[in-house]
Structure 1
Amino acid sequence: MNATIPPMHTALSVLGTMAGQYIAAQGQTAQAKQPVPANASTQQSTVTATLAICDICKVRPKYFDGQKTHSYCGKTCATTAQNKHIPNSKPKRNKTSKASRRLCDHCHKHPKYNDGTTTHSYCSKSCAQKAKAAGTSAAQPIQPAKSVRSFFHRVLTVLTTASRSSPTTNGCLLCGKAVKGKGHFCSQACTSRAEKSAPGLLEVPQGHDTFKSVADQFKTSWRHQTPCPAVRKVHKVIASPASIAKYEAYRAAVESRGNFAAAGRSAGNENRRWHGTTRECNLGDNGNSMLCSSQTCSLCCILRTSYNLNLFGKKTGWGRFGHGIYTSSTSSKSNDYSTNVNPSKLKAILLNKVVVGKGYKMTQDNTSLTAAPTGYDSVLAEVVNGGSLNYDELVCYTNDAIRPSYIVMYDA
């Protein structure tokens, strides 16, 4: 015999066609036994033909196994239906096997960690390190398709925004629950989650106490003879725990020398001061909270590693009070230094926490300074008649004396 045996799927397709024709014939016979209204034969033919066609491809006839007509023409379309989660197309799974796949690959006790985008192989860093020490290779993390990740990201954003818009005016910036005492997070769990995103930003809801505090400071400290622009967004800066620890250690050292808390001031005589700088990217626009990678975007560099005295003078070329980091209590003064490289309807300005300590008051320029005078921690440049300043400035001379706290986005 020279005839070639047809592939299985072809044979099944032929059987399906025959079955479909048989069903159609049976339907026509049954219809012939009853009175047939006008156009009924055409309608019946169309319906019967439609029922005999595969539910997925809509081209090939449904597969008939001799006893039952299935919903699809073959395995390919059945698999497609399964992937699309069409009802009754998904085979039953072993629940025990499914549950076990969700457990940590090392301890097999706790669920695998999911960061919102990726399901990792282990439940925690501890198990991941133990598995690495034992020489166990991690399975490839389960990552949903890009479109699915995008969808869940949008859903998460909506839910997070909704929770942050809670009537609670001092709600946690992550979950919206009420915060006891000072701070922006309701628990250590939320604090840890935020720290994992460092360096980064968290938007502060407009009804939040923090938004009002920052926006009010911006408005009341606008002293130029121009209308104060409206504040549109406030973002909390999330710095790494290591960076915050260095700042707090410096503040504690200054406090131990000056005993400011005993005099009714904040520890280290800490104050909030403005700083304007260059923004090359569109950070803060239209919900964009991703820091850019440019080494010349001053805003993102400050957010990533805080202030760096090694970069002094690269933008302005000089400083009235020498080699230091300059801030001001006047928002409109710092606005003069806030510039956009890309077109934007908004401008960005930083509100920082600064350890002022014991400030040395100056009214005239001294460009040779590289540190505060002996016995002092900073320089307070004040406005007086006959002085060189129109607006105040605060200058510190060590990187750890300052950390960015908020980004304020306002009308350009």
Structure 2
Amino acid sequence: MASIATFLNNFFLSLLILLLHLGCFIFTTTATAKTRDNHHSPSSKKRKISPLSQPSSPSHPKFKTHKPFSTSWHFIKQLFSTKSCKNPTTAPSPQSTTTTAKTESDIGAVDTNLFFPLRNDIFPCTACGEIFQKPHLLETHQALKHAVSDLPGSDPGHNIVQIIFKSGWPESKPFPNITRVLKIHNSPKILARFEEYREAVKAKAARHGALTRRRDERCIADGNELMRFHCSTFLCDLGHNGDSSICSQQFCNVCGIIKSGFSSKLDGIATLSTSWRAHAAIPDDLEREFCFMNVKRAMLVCRVIAGRIGSDLDEAEKDDGSFDSVMARGESGVCTRLDEEELLVFNPRAVLPCFVIVYSVL
């Protein structure tokens, strides 16, 4: 009996060991087959494709969500492949975007700081485009290079100035030959002085009317502005062939008046009501005597702030400043009408030349 029991125990133990070996062999074969199938499956082939060709974003339409991984190796492999996919096409982080934006803004700020103040120091000439760094340089340039402009015959202003000039010329005298009509572009400084003088005359007339109870409405309104003529001479080719510049010769009177206005050293500036009287104020032999200097005549059409007008008999009142201009007397010693006589203006700021008529008398 003891031997039978020992035999049975050995038999069952051997059978158990055999079954255990068979189970291990079956499990290993199944795992190997599954691994081989995974290596040859289409999904594994897709994973072998270069990471650069896969979509880098989960929102891409070709991106497929994978099922939970069955083994840690699959998870690790997918993790590395995902990183390799994202690395080449990684979108810029918000921090890097902010840094780039700051860098670009800093560059723009540097450019603005370098060049924007320079624009404030640039003063271009609207006539020729030349650029200056100082406003007074621009003003000097315009006063010298663009002081006048030629009015062509088709311009309405040309015909009007011609009519005004010829209207006072007597028919018994040789009629003048007008060469050209030039418009004067007075500088802002000269214009400002003219308007300031007008305001001063208006204020003085208002005070005088309040004291004497005799209001001069014309002086209070516009300073008693008139249109007058002043004849002078010049030496250069003023306005020739469309030239808009003036010369700097000492004895070229017309250019000096256009540039700086009338001289304050004069006792009075003679302005006349007609072109003929202004022409006759300069003797005819003056041109003959100074022909070697190429002296020529020119007529200035001026705006004049006459203010309160006195006469030669009012010298005492002229000295105390009661009158702004004086009217010359006729040959009989009696003051005639203003539009027939010479008007002497005391202040040079009261006369603003507007047109130059270059002419000659045969």
For the residue of structure 2 that corresponds to 1:239, the secondary structure is coil
**2:303 is aligned with 1:348:** no
CA apart distance, 1:254: 0.8
Of 156, 159, 163, the residue aligned with 1:209 is 156
Distance in 2 (alpha carbons) for counterparts of 1:295 and 1:392: 30
Spell out, residue by residue over 1:192-228, the C-alpha distance to the aligned partner (whole angstroms, 9 max, x if none).
x999622510222323332233222111122484033
Aligned to 1:383: 330
Of 317, 339, 345, the residue aligned with 1:396 is 345
- Judge conservation of contact 1:195–1:239 (CA < 8 Å) in 2: no
Q: Which runs of 5+ in 2 are unaligned?
A: 1-111, 207-214
**2:275 is aligned with 1:275:** no
Number of residue pairs matched by the alignment: 227
**2:167 is aligned with 1:220:** yes
Distance in 2 (alpha carbons) for counterparts of 1:109 and 1:276: 46
Note closer, same or farther for the CA distance 1:405–1:379 as it changes in structure 2 (3 Å cut).
same
Distance in 2 (alpha carbons) for counterparts of 1:208 and 1:330: 23
- Judge conservation of contact 2:264–2:347 (CA < 8 Å) in 1: yes
**2:148 is aligned with 1:198:** no
Of 328, 331, 354, the residue aligned with 2:272 is 328
**2:359 is aligned with 1:405:** no
Counterpart of 2:276, as a letter, is S
Note closer, same or farther for the CA distance 1:410–1:104 as it changes in structure 2 (3 Å cut).
farther
TM score, norm. by length of structure 1: 0.46
Counterpart of 2:345, as a letter, is C
Question: RMSD of the TM alignment (CA)?
Answer: 4.2
Counterpart of 2:165, as a letter, is F
**2:198 is aligned with 1:248:** no
Counterpart of 1:401, as a letter, is A
Note closer, same or farther for the CA distance 1:370–1:327 as it changes in structure 2 (3 Å cut).
farther
Whose RCO is larger (CA < 8 A, sep 6+)?
Answer: 2
For the residue of structure 2 that corresponds to 1:309, the secondary structure is coil
Distance in 2 (alpha carbons) for counterparts of 1:283 and 1:407: 10
Spell out, residue by residue over 1:338-392, the C-alpha distance to the aligned partner (whole angstroms, 9 max, x if none).
8655687974111111110111134x8x9x8995664211001243645599961
Spell out, residue by residue over 1:305-346, the C-alpha distance to the aligned partner (whole angstroms, 9 max, x if none).
110132x3xxxxxxxxxx211111121122132865568797
Note closer, same or farther for the CA distance 1:305–1:104 as it changes in structure 2 (3 Å cut).
farther
Distance in 1 (alpha carbons) for counterparts of 2:254 and 2:141: 21
User: Equivalent residues in 2 for 1:2-401 (5 A)?
Assistant: 106-107=115-116, 125=133, 197-199=142-144, 200-223=147-170, 225-258=172-205, 262-263=217-218, 267-310=222-265, 312=266, 323-336=267-280, 337=282, 341=290, 347-362=297-312, 371=318, 374-383=321-330, 385=332, 392-401=341-350
For the residue of structure 2 that corresponds to 1:254, the secondary structure is helix
Q: Which runs of 5+ in 1 are unaligned?
A: 1-102, 130-192, 313-322
TM score, norm. by length of structure 2: 0.51
Q: Which moved more, 1:323-332 or 1:203-212?
A: 203-212
For the residue of structure 1 that corresponds to 2:223, the secondary structure is helix
CA apart distance, 1:250: 0.6
For the residue of structure 1 that corresponds to 2:160, the secondary structure is helix
The alignment-based identity, stated in percent, is 25
Question: Greater helix share, 1 or 2?
Answer: 2
For the residue of structure 2 that corresponds to 1:106, the secondary structure is helix
Distance in 2 (alpha carbons) for counterparts of 1:278 and 1:255: 33
For the residue of structure 1 that corresponds to 2:245, the secondary structure is coil
CA apart distance, 1:281: 1.9
For the residue of structure 1 that corresponds to 2:197, the secondary structure is helix
Note closer, same or farther for the CA distance 1:300–1:212 as it changes in structure 2 (3 Å cut).
same
Distance in 1 (alpha carbons) for counterparts of 2:260 and 2:152: 26
Distance in 2 (alpha carbons) for counterparts of 1:271 and 1:246: 17
CA apart distance, 1:119: 6.7
